[in-house]
Amino acid sequence: MSPIWIIVDGAVLALFIVNAVFAYRYRSRQMRSEGQEPPPFLVYLFFPRPLPSRVSVPRPVRIILGLIILSGGAFFLFIGFLLFTDRHAMQSQLVGSVVAVALLRGFVPLEG
């Protein structure tokens, strides 16, 4: 394993722990304000309890959102494949830049 992957793995683990600490602090303060005793940190980290309330979303909305996320992931993988193949190196840069400009055009309105 190269040193760069050790650093990347360490960074991911550090971000996981920092996120868990902030989430635990938030949840423990919330539980104390409700008069409950929060669980120990390691119990909270490795054996989380789900939140009691669930958001109800209609089935068609879940299916449509799932298809949008699936198509976005497939598109991301396809563009990544194009960018990392040697055979299509010049074409993939063109395709990637055109796609990026098209996406930016869709999200950023032009003034004028």
**In terms of residue numbers, what domain contains 107?**
57-112
Low-confidence ranges of the chain (pLDDT < 70): 1, 51-52, 83, 86-94, 104-112
Q: Which residues contact 45 (CB under 8 A, 6 or more apart)?
A: 20, 24
Number of structural domains the chain divides into: 2
Q: 47 and 7 share a domain? A: yes
Q: 108 and 61 share a domain? A: yes
Residue 98 tokens read as 């055109």
Q: What is the pLDDT of residue 99?
A: 74
Q: What is the pLDDT of residue 30?
A: 92
Distance CA(75)–CA(25), nearest Å, equals 38
Q: 45 and 70 share a domain? A: no
Q: What is the pLDDT of residue 109?
A: 55
Q: 75 and 103 share a domain? A: yes
Q: What is the pLDDT of residue 112?
A: 44
**Global pTM?**
0.44
Q: 71 and 48 share a domain? A: no
Q: 28 and 42 share a domain? A: yes
